[in-house]
Amino acid sequence: MTKFQDLGISPATMKSLMRMGFEEATPIQAQTIPLSLEQKDLIGQAQTGTGKTAAFGIPMIDKIDYTKDVIQGIVIAPTRELAVQVSEELYKIGFGKRTRVLSIYGGQDINRQIRALKNRPHIIVGTPGRLLDHINRKTLQLDNVHTVILDEADEMLNMGFIEDIESILAQIPEEHQTLLFSATMPGPIRKIAERFMKEPQVVRVKTKEVTVSQIEQYYVEVQERSKFDILTRLLDIQCPELAIIFGRTKRRVDELAEALNLRGYNAEGIHGDLTQAKRMSVLRKFKEGSIDVLVATDVAARGLDISGVTHVYNFDIPQDPESYVHRIGRTGRAGKTGVAMTFITPREKSYLHVVERTTKRKMERMKPPTLDEALEGQQKAVIERILQSVESNNLQYYKQAAEELLEQQDATMIVQAVLKMLTKEPDTTPVKLTEEKPLPQKRDRRPDDRNKSYGGGQRGRQQKPPLRSRQGSSQGNKHNSNQNRTRSNSNSYR
């Protein structure tokens, strides 16, 4: 595996990556960052969930001169959710260089954005329509831009943004670097590359193959309000040695970790808001086995070397199938078997079908376990521990006490009492989790439909884009995006 420190990244940016807990580069990062640092135009063809934001963000931020109060980099993204998410990650990557990042998108007060632009950000992340609106109003000056990123280019094609993108690119100085990232390369995207890029280097990275034969994959269909009880019953029945539970948002991770501890499980959570010291402390305890359950967001778990995981629980199904592949790849490593459990609400079944097509394997449906089954699972675990102790044959110091006990009580009654004492009975302590809205219902599109434009060639901005967003999720993280928009637009100027 390639380490970030081997890629020629500046010490200031490396400091930020260490603060974020990033250790190992993904394939797209390892291949594109050195080329980008050499100022070469680049086409990166890779699926969502492969770490593209850091792949283009690290070299762009390395080129930023924070002493100059001008816009030096621009990222064009298809949706407002993605724009917010990208800007938040760029802010974290650029923390060591004091890089100011601003996201602008439709649906937000344009006057507020104009005021924010006067704070002189170094990097703008925006949707095509709103970027063009600011250009036409002359509230966005791109004369000093040296790096242009086209993120999710095929999605912008699907949404009818190609003309807007061409108009924006025409405003960029001739001497600049362009990085284009796209999962597919349809004709119109190739034409943009030919017209606006200079001898671009092409990097193609396939979605990491998961040895699904080594991973048992199940799904449980359950109502949102019943998820937590079902999760704890599964933990009681399956008794994982090391488990990771994935939640869709930072709030979800915090609430899940707290609720699990209330129910008697040794759990801690990690997400992007934790300090590096806290993050590394949690991971160290997890690797050492002093906590059995790690609760994480997709972004927090990315790039971390975690081995020995026996079970992965997708408490919230991810919005894009590549994130699912990344999640379950945490188990079933080094020839060992693993178990992946995914919870879906009835409205989210279409996402399940997309995931199954990506992994080319059907998930097995599992019936939600009952309280009795959870108790039975704990009893089996205790019996297994007792039998292991018997086999160890190191019991001579307990023989006399055992014989005296058998003189006083029936053997069956004694065994029953021991089982009761050692069994962790299912805990029904009430917990309160904030309900997450189900992922938005979508048309179940086949992969070969990707190049068919929504809206029959018209600009389909009101159409929903295809199911794909960067790790974490777009719609699923709407709560966090709403909370963090102010931070993206103001706190980035710290």
- For residues 305 and 201, membership in a common domain is answered with no
pLDDT band at 476 (very low <50, low <70, confident <90, very high): very low
Residue 49: strand, helix, or coil = coil
- For residues 15 and 161, membership in a common domain is answered with yes
Lowest mean pLDDT among 198-212, 290-304, 363-377: 198-212
Rounded Cα–Cα distance for residues 287 and 403 (Å):
41
Edge-to-edge strands, sheet with 293-296? 267-270, 293-296, 243-246, 311-314, 338-344, 215-221, 364-365
Q: Give the pLDDT of residue 465.
A: 37
Last residue of a domain, one of 304, 337, 365: 365
- For residues 462 and 486, membership in a common domain is answered with yes
Residue 361 lies in a domain: yes
Helix (H) or strand (E) holding 272: none
Task: Write out pLDDT tens, residues 393-406.
Answer: 788 888 888 888 88
Residue 164 lies in a domain: yes
Residue 124 lies in a domain: yes
Task: Write out pLDDT tens, residues 377-398.
Answer: 888 888 888 888 888 878 888 8
- For residues 186 and 227, membership in a common domain is answered with no
- For residues 74 and 9, membership in a common domain is answered with yes
Of 294 and 205, which is predicted with more confidence? Answer: 294
Q: How many domains does the chain have?
A: 2
Residue 340 lies in a domain: yes
Residue 431 lies in a domain: no
Task: Write out pLDDT tens, residues 82-118.
Answer: 888 899 899 999 998 999 999 999 888 999 999 999 9
Q: What is the DSSP annotation of 278-317? A: HHHHHHHHHHHTSSSEEEE-HHHHTT-----B-EEEESS-
CA angle 448, 319, 357 (to 5 degrees): 40
- For residues 148 and 37, membership in a common domain is answered with yes
Last residue of a domain, one of 365, 395, 420: 365
Q: Where are the alpha helices (DSSP H) in 217-275?
A: 227-238, 250-262
Q: Give the pLDDT of residue 176.
A: 94
- For residues 349 and 229, membership in a common domain is answered with yes
pLDDT at 211 over 50: no
Rounded Cα–Cα distance for residues 202 and 199 (Å):
9
pLDDT at 492 over 70: no
**Which domain does 224 fall in, by range?**
212-365
Rounded Cα–Cα distance for residues 78 and 153 (Å):
8
Q: Which residues of 384-411 are buried (b: 16+ CB within 10 A; e: fewer)?
A: eeeeeeeeeeeeeeeeeeeeeeeeeeee
Mean pLDDT of the chain: 81
Q: Give the pLDDT of residue 70.
A: 95
Residue 412 lies in a domain: no
Last residue of a domain, one of 347, 365, 383: 365
- For residues 221 and 190, membership in a common domain is answered with no
- For residues 185 and 219, membership in a common domain is answered with no
Are the beta carbons of 295 and 304 closer than 8 angstroms? no
Instruction: Identify which of 78-87, 286-295, 413-422 has the greatest average pLDDT.
Output: 286-295
User: Domain with 276 in it: what CATH number?
Assistant: 3.40.50.300
- For residues 262 and 315, membership in a common domain is answered with yes
Rounded Cα–Cα distance for residues 440 and 392 (Å):
54
Residue 228 lies in a domain: yes
- For residues 161 and 230, membership in a common domain is answered with no
pLDDT at 238 over 80: yes
pLDDT at 478 over 50: no
Residues 182, 186, 189, 195, Cα dihedral to 10°: 140
Residue 192 lies in a domain: yes
Q: Is the dihedral of CA 194, 199, 203, 204 positive or negative?
A: positive
Closest CA to 188 of 139, 236, 153, 240: 153
Q: Give the pLDDT of residue 446.
A: 38
- For residues 229 and 309, membership in a common domain is answered with yes
Are the beta carbons of 330 and 312 closer than 8 angstroms? yes
Task: Write out pLDDT tens, residues 52-68.
Answer: 889 999 999 999 998 99
Mean pLDDT value across residues 23-47: 89
Rounded Cα–Cα distance for residues 75 and 124 (Å):
6
